[in-house]
Structure 1
Amino acid sequence: MAAALAAMVVLALRTVAGAASTPAAAAATTSRSPVIYIFGDSMSDVGNNNYLLLSLAKCNYPWYGIDYKNGYPTGRFTNGRTIGDIMAAKFGSPPPVPFLSLYMTDDEVLGGVNFASGGAGLLNETGIYFVQYLSFDSQISSFEQIKNAMIAKIGKKAAEETINGAIFQIGLGSNDYVNNFLRPFMADGIVYTHDEFIGLLMDTIDRQLTRLYKLGARHIWFSGLAPLGCIPSQRVLSDGGGECLDDVNTYAIQFNAAAKDLLEGLNAKLPGARMYLSDCYSIVMELIDHPEKHGFKTSHTSCCDVDTTVGGLCLPTAQLCADRRDFVFWDAYHTSDAANQVIADRLFADMVGSGAVVPRNGTSPPRVVSAPAPAHASPARMP
């Protein structure tokens, strides 16, 4: 589950200083809505993989997007909004657009951008059997392209100030377990003990977040892992048939503890860095253990009943549940629109409670852009 969540975020609500001479620059420097950058996997993807012709990690099937604008697929791996969509609305901003939908000359490069890619992980080898995807390293390189495009439009000073005051939301790590370490045919689960694997992940995150910092990121919200042992695709692997996998949940808890220590270390080492770990584990576990508390009825299986299906996605032949609002999980890996609302509400409350974020008044569902075209329809947009 990517992760999700989510999904993780850097915010500045101040007006960007340094007015520029072009209309595009003036718009960028007078807007008071926060700029949001999202990095992640399928929990956060809003259509980037639709532009990757060879990618096997896509969800362009009927049922996906059924509760989104016009009811058709948009590249989101859920029935409606992602956590990032809902968080953007809470900040009074439209949902960040898919990176691969942009020309580097578009004025949209001055606003929020979503780099998330289904199948992606922290490690470059994670998701390799999806053929084409944007790993976290690739997403950071894509952000660097956006920064260079911003500099060309509004100058280095204004671009730096915009980035320094942006929200960086990062939700990665789930696939490094679900589609890597826990897969018997992937080398990492054979080569490394779990302690060694966490060490590898932390070294990788350290390098990646330091690179983002050098590119101007200051306020970063990194989403901790959810209880991966309780997602439908993992439950079906239990000996008892449907129980949570305690060892996998323990892995997630250990990852989160190590990530929290790492972020605190980076804050101490990097001047001006404000990096936080979002507690997705407890939020999602509460939904799983007490679904009725939030108006759900089912938290152990997916709405479209694909827990044991290869790929775990809601294919057109899937039979949907009678009421999608009753289910925490949409498919075997991803939470439903209704669950994403609960998760986003809690994450936002935690962010405001930390004192690091000033709330805005936009809390309604976000303005929705049209669904992105397939890869072959606009090759010129590929960076």
Structure 2
Amino acid sequence: MTKLVLGIESSCDETGVALVRSGAGGALPTLLAHALHSQVQMHQAYGGVVPELASRDHIRRVLPLLRQVLTEADVPLTDVDVVAYTRGPGLAGALLVGAGVACALGAALARPVLGVHHLEGHLLSPFLSADAPQFPFVALLVSGGHTQLMRVDGVGRYELLGETIDDAAGEAFDKTAKLLGLGYPGGPALARLAEYGDPEAFKLPRPLLHSPNLDFSFAGLKTAVLTQARKLESAVCELPRADLAASTQAAIVEVLLKKSLKALQATGLKRLVVAGGVGANQQLRIQLNAACQARGVRVHYPELELCTDNGAMIAMAAAMRLQAGVQQPRSDYAFDVRPRWPLDAIDA
């Protein structure tokens, strides 16, 4: 029997709502509608996310987005079977908005609720694409403050292979962009500037590139970029800044590429899933596609519009967990949130 799963995402600076119908007979769930509001413009003036402002904006946006999704899907609210929400990780106040709304809806409708791990949402988001992966696979999770390599054998069956020991790839993009005066959000702005630069102009470090493990480190790269950026403060030409942007992007992409290939080799798997905001980076996709094709490896990504935080990935993860029987929704409507919540401890 299929179920209608409503998903609410509010972990940081995007408010997302989506409606998914679970699959029948082993089929994948299908996305009926989703809506998203980004707070980027609001936070730009501050150079980054202001948690209190983020929480207040989620409160303003979530119910209008819910009405929009129900209208687009042509489904009455009373037909919803399960209400899912992001339980963590993320900003505590922002998470509480989504959890509170979800549990209030569940109580009003007498429907069960289910708390979802934000990173599992990213991990399973490629199953929403036309080219959905199959288990098992290696996953490269590059979302915000997270950079991880996972072995994924099924829903809820995750083995951590390596992770960042300091700055994540997304943080390296954002901090470099800030050093170059590109504002917030930094990653996409740096990638645009890098299109005009020479990726070999600056010899930047690739921390842990040749280490025997699969861990990442980008703090040393950030320090090297800071040193070079200070030398460019008096530059009157934009080209050196573009060169530094391109060189930084090249360093980050090379580390992500080489570590992903090492993980594939170590596991013997022939399928790679890339998820999270950095997964939208075009240079990363181009180089991963070429390297994986040469090795007979299939690589999968979420649709570009679903790389950032969104409600569709939360509804999808909830529906897949329900179908796999790895989690049951709750009907007591007491909720908590987990701002820090390792993915390999998802059932803890």
TM-score by length of 2: 0.34
The structure richer in strand per residue is 2
Normalised to the residue count of structure 1, the TM-score between the two structures is 0.31
Larger gyration radius, structure 1 or structure 2: 2
